[in-house]
Amino acid sequence: MPLKRLMWALPTLFGVLVVVFVLLRLAPGDPIAMMIGPGATPDDIRALRTLYGFDRSVPEQFVIYLGQAATGQFGQSITLKRDVLELVFAHLPLTLELSLLALGLAILIGGSAALTAVAWRGTAVERAIDLVTGFVTAIPDFLWGLAGVLFLGVLLPVLPVFGLLDPALRFDPASGFMLGESLLRGRLDVFGSALYHMLWPALSLSLPLAAMISRVLKASLLEVLAQDYILIARVKGFSPWQVLWREALRNALGPALTLTGVQFTFLIGGTVLIERLFGLPGLGNMAIDAVINRDLPLIQGIVLTFALLFILVNLAVDVLHTRINPKLRR
């Protein structure tokens, strides 16, 4: 089943390539003109067009790009003068760490809120949680980020709101994974500083997802708690928390898991604005620079990387969903 779904992902990747390639070629502006200085000669311009393949027809450029993408060669960045794949691998780890940290916070906050609301259903606690989750859902992640910069970084400077490490620290992770590698290498000072800097950006990303997880999981739990086997568990003398944890939670995870997987892909995309806002050197921040500079090879490489991440996340969610609910394996 995973292999079959992975094969179906190939047409999706091809479609992404086609759409991105066509849209970037239709966009106004000349990327070569943005590179050259005021004293460039026509020969210099022709040499650059030949170097980056812009002297060929659009169908020829697309065929060449398909061949390069199939072999993992995305060309060279126009503005940074470095291999696109090298740049992607250098900036992707931070985006993944930020996304996974935000996902962990969303699951922890949303799951705790749902379980608490169900355990205290019919009380003021449930009504307060419903009110808060409804409010949080209505506010996008970048507004939470802006609020954090204003209140926690300016008015009450209790959290850093720019950069990834304290200026006094020096650490160059070979893998690019700042949190993971600093922890493995015993650099707890670097790990603590990076986590401290990433806390509010990750929390800004996680809050809307946490609210959605809470609402969906709560509705699913209430539906499961109305089943007959839950009544049997209560007759056996299980406490309310035992009923929730041992009997209801596993059967109620399906809708919440599906929502989490789908929204996780949007969470990864949301890192674009959050990284820019907090000055984090991730893939999203580099994507904005690439768009501003109309760096076509870099934009195509970044978009294809995001598309591949989305496909892999959805595939992982499908596999995990069938593990939790055997009825779906057919």
**pLDDT on residue 29:** 65
**pLDDT on residue 254:** 75
List, by residue range, all CATH 1.10.3720.10 domains of the chain.
85-329
CATH level 2 (architecture), domain 85-329: Orthogonal Bundle (1.10)
**pLDDT on residue 328:** 56
**pLDDT on residue 292:** 84
Phi and psi based region of residue 225 (left: phi greater than 0; alpha: psi -120 to 50; beta: remaining): alpha
Nearest Cα residue to 95 out of 305, 290, 304: 305
Q: Which residues of the chain have pLDDT under 70?
A: 1-6, 27-39, 229, 233-237, 239-242, 245-247, 321, 324-330
Contact 244, 119 (CB under 8 A): yes
Q: Which residues contact 104 (CB under 8 A, 6 or more apart)?
A: 206
The mean pLDDT of the chain is: 82
**Residue 291 CB burial class (10 angstroms; 0-12, 13-18, ≥19):** middle
**pLDDT on residue 1:** 54
**pLDDT on residue 326:** 59
* Alpha-helical segments (H) within the chain: 2-26, 31-35, 42-51, 58-70, 84-119, 124-137, 141-148, 178-184, 188-225, 228-235, 240-242, 249-278, 283-292, 296-324
Q: Which amino acid is at 322?
A: T
**Residue 290 CB burial class (10 angstroms; 0-12, 13-18, ≥19):** buried
Contacts within 8 Å (CB) and 24+ apart, 275-279: 275/94, 275/95, 275/98, 275/201, 277/142, 277/145, 277/146, 277/149, 277/201, 278/145, 278/149, 278/161, 278/162, 278/163, 278/197, 278/200, 278/201, 279/162, 279/163
